[in-house]
A and B are shown apart, each in its own frame.
Chain A
Amino acid sequence: MSADRLGGLCLLAFCIAYASLIPDIPSIAVETSFTARSMPTFLAIVGTVLAAWLVIKPAPSTAEVAVLHWQAPLVLVGLMIGYGLLLRPLGLILATTAFLWLSFLTLGAQRRLAAAVVALVVASAIGLLLTYGLGLYLNLWPAIELAGDG
């Protein structure tokens, strides 16, 4: 399958999903014909037509989809999600150190201890800069709850 056709199919699915959510937009009685649903409806129609066009008539010169190694990027995305989940409970420094250290190792950093030290130094520097340099009040550690953090 060509890249255009595959991309067109993905975006066609997105447009159809988008269109299926339009009826969920609440409607209130207004005198104007342009409502909260008008623009989404127009976009859903145009988007669906364009995506279908790509599926039916993909550009002939487009290269085929290559097989790629997704392991490391997927691990990094997983670490990002974990960072989002643990940022508040663990505090900025621990969560950032863990994220950086595991990311360094995922991407092939050989010296584990050196990577851990770099991660800790960077995380501490960021935490201190944000908190004391720029006056942003963040949870640096799990036990410290500073006023003003969301």
Chain B
Amino acid sequence: MLEGILTGLETAFSLQNVMYLVIGCSAGTLIGMLPGLGPMTAIALMIPIASALPPASGIIMMAAVYYGAIFGGSTSSILLNAPGVASTVATSFDGYPMARDGQPGKALAIAALASFVGGTIAALLLLGFAPQLAQVSLSFQSTDYFALMVLGLVAVAAFSGPGQTVKALLMTIVGLMLSTVGSDQTQGLPRFTLGYIDLIDGISFLLLVMATFAMAEALLSILRPGQEISNARIKGLQIDAGDAREAAPAVGRSSVLGFFIGLLPGAGATIASLLAYGSEQRLAPRTSTPFGQGSVRGVAAPEAANNAAATGSFVPLLTLGIPGSGTTAILLGAFIAYGVQPGPMLFINEPAVFWGVIVSMWLGNVVLLILNLPLIPYLARVLAIPRPYLLPMILLFSMLGVYLVSFNTFDIHMMALFAICAVGLRLLNFPMAPMILGFVLGGLMEENLRRALLIYDDSWHFLWQRPLTLGILLVAAAVLLAPGLSRMRRRR
């Protein structure tokens, strides 16, 4: 393995690859920062450029675009409450209130440092344990994946706060329902397409996220008089020792959690950030700022977790050839286009690619920190744009972000419809994040359940016969029931 690490260092630190890494991080941050343009769009846009490079350089650059875009996405989450990607949704829960409270510099600085630490811890874990972790992932079967997805969905609903559990569960179901629109994955049968050919491929994830977050937020800020976007100028970083002390344990825990969630195929940065947010919400002392009102931990935890998970998601991609998310699925396509087949043989056949990407993960986080911290005051100048000019820009970027993926104007009409529905539901205090998660996991969940039933001869016995599956499902049940039981105990 030492030989591999040395190969990786040699590859990642070559002048040419460092240059591509910087270009990738910069492009990813800038694209990810724009509401409506997330990592998927960023990587898709960079594929034509990367395809002209040697495999190791091209893949290092696209990986840099990926975590650069996640890093940049947190900026629009904090400043505009318009996450460019689902994995930064949790960051907006406390980052945006903090920015509206006149502390956008502090929120951005916490996010930048937490992302750096999260990415660094995850890169070290990846470097040290990649082969062993691949073995752990290998032992998972369809039944376990199905159970893990149930756990992820249930956890988000359970962590949604008092009085919100039923609504969060209902929104999860709505997300799962939306994921069933389009051709059935196994039999290819059309479902809920209402006769529209444009719905045969289902509803685009990017479309749903843009409509329910970026667009809905823009429309809500017009509806609610008190919802003005902060136009405070950021003169510098406003993080003090107290904030650092408060954030440090949350960042440490969330980085490790994020990495391990991220390496499970199908889980990824979104679940990691939401789980980290939920668990830190429970662990937070009562004396600290409440979550949802600008908590330091509420910004740091999801940021550390999503960056760590982005790194972790490369484990199943590199070692098993299984993409853990939509973004890594695009990367898998890029690998194949290069003639590089990710999987167990990648270690042997393409050591420069495998170890080069792993080492560049850490180097990329250094580049991101050097690039982003000094640039934060300049990046945040977007807030100075007057509201009558900024909000239509958000709507436009959202529409173009989706249109440039599909080149189908039908998607713009769908976005308008979803945005209206999302505004209505958000005004009625229904959470959107569980719906997005349900939508993301719906297809995978159905696929894994179907595969499990095939393996177990159409019998549901796997739910209690396989100890790992049963264990995960019991944890899911405990997570779901725990808040209700503790409330009942308190009443007594």
Contact = CB atoms under 8 A, between A and B. Distances in A.
Interface of A: 3-4, 6-8, 10-11, 14-15, 18, 21, 25-28, 30-36, 39-40, 43-44, 46-47, 50-51, 53-54, 59, 61-63, 65-66, 68-70, 72-73, 76-77, 80-81, 83-85, 87-88, 96, 99-100, 103-104, 107-109, 115, 118, 122, 126, 130, 134-136, 149-150
A11 B223 contact: no
Of A66, A80, A100, A122, the most chain B CB neighbours within 10 A belong to A80
Nearest to A30: B187
Contact of A50 (B166, B189, B420): B166
Contacts of B400: 126
Contact of B170 (A18, A50, A85): A50
The bracket for how many chain B residues form the interface is 35 or more
Given A39-B449, A62-B163, A65-B428, 5 more contacts: A4-B167, A10-B425, A26-B189, A36-B191, A130-B404
B191 A40 contact: yes
Nearest to B194: A21
Interface stretch (B124-132, B406-414, B468-476): B406-414
Contact of B395 (A69, A76, A118, A130): A76
26 contacts: A4-B429, A6-B428, A11-B170, A11-B174, A15-B173, A36-B184, A40-B191, A47-B170, A47-B173, A47-B177, A50-B170, A51-B170, A63-B429, A66-B427, A73-B222, A76-B391, A76-B395, A81-B416, A84-B412, A87-B403, A87-B409, A99-B392, A100-B396, A109-B389, A134-B45, A149-B407
A7 B395 contact: no
Binding site of B, secondary structure by majority: helix, strand, loop or mixed?
helix
Interface in B182-210: 184, 186-187, 189-192, 194
A73 to B, nearest CB: 4
6 closest A-B pairs by CB: A84-B412, A103-B392, A107-B388, A7-B428, A36-B184, A150-B407
Interface string B455-468: 00010000000000
B458 A99 contact: no
Interface of B: 45, 48, 163, 166-167, 169-170, 173-174, 176-177, 180, 184, 186-187, 189-192, 194, 215, 218-219, 222-224, 386-389, 391-393, 395-396, 399-400, 403-404, 407-413, 415-416, 419-420, 423-425, 427-430, 446, 449-450, 453-454, 458
B190 A26 contact: yes
Given A69-B223, A76-B219, A107-B388, A47 B416 contact: no
Contacts of A66: 427
B399 A83 contact: yes
A99 B424 CA distance: 23
B396 A96 contact: yes
A62 B429 contact: yes
Contacts of B222: 72-73, 76, 107
A54 B458 contact: no
B395 A103 contact: yes
Nearest to B216: A73
A73 B224 CA distance: 11
Contacts of B396: 96, 99-100, 122, 126
A85 B409 CA distance: 7
A36 B187 contact: yes
B388 A104 contact: yes
A85 B163 CA distance: 42
Nearest to B184: A36
A120 B55 CA distance: 40
A12 B425 CA distance: 13
B446 A39 contact: yes
A88 B409 contact: yes
B223 A36 contact: no
A25 B412 contact: no
A87 B412 contact: yes
Contacts of B419: 77, 80
Contacts of A84: 399, 409-413, 416
